[in-house]
Amino acid sequence: MKDSHGDYDPNTQNPVNPDPDYNGDYPEQSASIATISPADKIKEMPASSKAATASPAVNRPPKPPGYALGPYLQFLTTDLDHMLWYGSALIFRHVSFNDKRPKIEFICEPKVDYTWEILYDNIFDMRAYRVHIKIELRDGASDDKIAWKIDWTDHTSEGLFHIAQRDQRWRGGFFSCNGFDATVPEQVVNDLTYTNVWKHLNSVHEENPLHLLVWGGDQNYIDFIFEDCPYLKDWVDMEWNKKWTCDFREDLREQVERYHFNMYTENWERPEVKYALETVPSLMTWDDHDIFDGAGSYPPLLHDSPVMMGLFRSAQKMRLLFQHHTTVEKACTEDHTMFGYKSYNFLARCGPHLAILGTDSRSERDAETIMDQRTWDMIFDKLNKIDPLVQHLIVIFAVPFSFLRFRLAESIFERFKNATNKCRTLPIVKQTNSIFGLPELYDDLLDEWTHQAHIRERDRGLQRFQQLSNEKRLRITFFSGDVHTCGIARFQTRRRRGVIQPVNDSKLMYQVISSAIVNIPPSRKSLHVAHYFKTKWYPDGVEDTEEELTDFFERMPETGRKLVHKKLLPNRNWCYFEQSSSATPTVVQKVGGFFHRHFSSSKNNVLPITLGPTSTADGQGSAEPPVHTHTEGRFCRQQTEQSREGSTNELTIRLWLESSEKHKEGRQFVSYELLIPGLL
């Protein structure tokens, strides 16, 4: 369907790809393109050059890798029946070494079995190996050190990671947004740096080794491909109708895949990232910038176009390789453990009492749906079979499951999207558009679970999580990133129904928001304005449930002074989490444990929160005292064992915030803690 000016309506089916079978499905290129002469091939990308940033590892376009890469460690699950820890390592070796496969050795007390698998015999002159690792899970409540050593024939490399013994409390980290998008000025990039928050995360890991690192999406910012790839740079400015109907050429596919490959290897080889990947097994879920900005959140004409579908397929291939050590063909096999209707999700068991569900909210996304109903059913089929010993389930959604609503802005941008293309290209309007010709914020809003187009799907999912929690007595917590800010939201039983203690409320579910570890945060003023939006809701059709963005931050990370706006802060950050027990609350005891709210209060709208430790002045570790010392006043009473009686397994969340005045004298990182009770 075309408008009065002859331009395709963005809401109409794509005329050359009207009914794609999956995200990444596009028609074969036309015969005229397939037989094109060498002289008409697309232009090659320019040679790589050092990007104008302080990081020596960032180039534009990304440069090809060296001759040896890895190991990049991945955690899969633990099997308590057979007392085994499962994981994998991703290793690359240049094909010029022929069949001289690297030799890996594990030096540790537990028994280790491993097997090699070739994922790609030759992918951009590299051979990609997956090493399947199976480690004896020993009884005990300590850590086992697993040292590794690789003989590459021309050199050796070595490292160490830690796994939790059967009854050890798991320690992990969570973060998102590992890069800068194309809109961030170079000077801001140099001021913030890629490395500062990463260095702090690594210093905490060195202080008390993490068992697991969860990457919450936007591991790569692929945005610059539209500037670095000559064909795509021209495509951005292409005439509207041609832009959304032209072929995704085979020579373009090869160039795009190479760009992704080099982008991953360059990012994975950044020293601070490489150290983490080699010393902490990871779990990952992707988000839009791993594909392109707003991937999936566009109307059918754009979403189903051959170029967008081709870009998606290339991103999917490289995401599965680098983030999950697998391929499209192997991902959902028994050995590679992923599942989904047309997406790739995972469920990991972390010892007896903790499990982590990683969701894929991009592979099935369109303007109306985030996850296909058949994938939802597969997820809950697995969760309903979860071991009764599991007391905490962390659910990873790249985009927050609970967040602010922007209904007026949604309506305005929907109107702009539905305007004629001629209207959208007027100079005063065009300057507010994205490279795809729609309003810049249109896809950002449509990305959200709380957007009007997705809130019903969100609420149906919430109801199923509530049912699961109630039947299994399983505490569910959501971890998310994406929004470049940090805070805590919460679902719980609506208070009009009377007092329900947190340990008995199966509807009590916290939303941890941690973003970004690298990217620029929003301005402080914009977040102040956000506090005047509605921050408490009663989800339609979800019985006796209230949802709220909580007052989590009592004091400023920079000064320790009391805050007026306590829900969201504009500081880069990452999240530490640890299982804890009411009998042995290790994290709480270590930092002094003065809680702002009473955990066993007669009200159920309180938060079990405290100021956590801080880093040293040079941004290292977690051994310094809180940014503010509380008194034993009415609202600063010390947490006691009696107030937590009956809760046998808890989850401690510690949000680490970078001070926005980090270059001035003082502590660079300040933490805030939340204690999530088990469910009785």
- 592-611 pLDDT tens trace: 343 443 344 444 555 688 88
Q: Give the Cα separation of 309 and 295 in Å (integer).
A: 10
Q: What is the 3-state secondary structure (H, E, C) of 213-275?
A: EEECCCCCCHHHHHHHCHHHHHHHCCCHHHHCCCCCCHHHHHHHHHHHHHHHHHHHCCHHHHH
CA 6/CA 4 separation, integer angstroms: 6
Helix (H) or strand (E) holding 34: helix 31-34
Tell me how many helices (H) and strands (E) the chain has: 18, 24
CA 561 – CA 557 distance, rounded (Å): 8
Give the CA angle between residues 561, 567, 569 to the nearest 5°.
65
Residue type at 290?
Answer: D
Spell out where 342-427 has E strands.
Answer: 346-350, 354-358, 392-396
**563 by DSSP, 3-state: which?**
coil
Angle at CA of residue 590, ends 575 and 573, nearest 5°: 15
Residue 441 has a CB neighbour count (10 Å cut-off) of 17
- What token pair was written down for 322? 């680098």
What is the C-alpha to C-alpha distance for residues 480 and 115, in angstroms, rounded to an integer?
34
Element (H, E) at 655: strand 650-658
Q: Where are the alpha helices (DSSP H) in 384-488?
A: 407-418, 421-424, 427-430, 442-446, 455-472
Residues linked to residue 489 through DSSP beta bridges, in sequence order? 511, 549
Q: How far apart (Å, rounded) are the C-alpha atoms in residues 477 and 509?
A: 5
Cβ atoms 675, 608 nearer than 8 A: yes
Identify whether the C-beta of residue 517 lies closer than 8 Å to the C-beta of residue 577.
no
CA distance 261 to 177: 18
* Half-sphere CA count of 411, side-chain side, radius 13 A: 4
- For residue 79, what is the enclosing H or E element? strand 68-79
User: Within the chain, which residues score under 70 in pLDDT?
Assistant: 31-39, 52-57, 497-498, 582-607, 630-648, 662-666
pLDDT for res 591? 36
Phi then psi for residue 276, to 5 deg, are -65, -45
Q: Phi, psi (5° rounding) for residue 388?
A: -60, -20
Tens of pLDDT along 312-342?
A: 999 999 999 999 999 999 999 999 999 999 9
Q: What confidence score (pLDDT) does residue 514 get?
A: 98
Contact predicate 182/223, CB 8 Å: yes
Residue 608: name the closest of 529, 516, 490 by CA: 490
**pLDDT for the residue numbered 665:** 58
What region, left, alpha or beta, does residue 218 occupy, with left being phi > 0 and alpha being psi -120 to 50 degrees?
left
φ/ψ of residue 454, rounded to 5: -120, -10
Please enumerate in sequence order all residues whose Cβ is within 8 A of that of 648, keeping only pairs 6 or more positions apart, or say none.
391, 581, 582, 583, 678
Q: Are 272 and 198 in contact (CB under 8 A)?
A: yes
**Is 381 in a helix, a strand, or coil?**
helix
The 8 Å CB, 24+ separation contacts for 537-540 are 537/405, 538/494, 539/455, 539/459, 539/462, 540/455, 540/456, 540/459
Give the Cα separation of 349 and 390 in Å (integer).
8
Q: Tell me the CA distances in angstroms from 542 to 475, 512, 523, one per residue in order.
A: 18, 21, 34
Q: Please check whether residue 155 is in contact with residue 102, taking contact to mean a CB–CB distance below 8 angstroms.
A: no
504 contacts: CB under 8 Å, gap ≥ 6: 679, 680
Q: Which residues of 18-54 are buried (b: 16+ CB within 10 A; e: fewer)?
A: eebeebbbbeebeeebeebeeeeebeebeeeeebebe
Nearest-angstrom CA–CA distance, 624 and 433 = 46
In the structure encoding, which two tokens stand for residue 517, read together? 């570890």
Exposed, middle or buried by CB within 10 Å (0-12, 13-18, 19+), for 109?
A: exposed
Report the DSSP beta bridge partners of residue 652: 578, 675
DSSP character at residue 575: E
pLDDT of residue 32: 54
Give the residue from 474, 512, 483 showing the smallest Cα distance to 654.
512
- What pTM was estimated for this model as a whole? 0.93
**pLDDT value, residue 661:** 74
Beta-sheet pairing, 650-658 with 669-676 = antiparallel
588-604 b/e (C-beta count within 10 Å ≥ 16 → b) = beebbbbbbbbbbeeeb
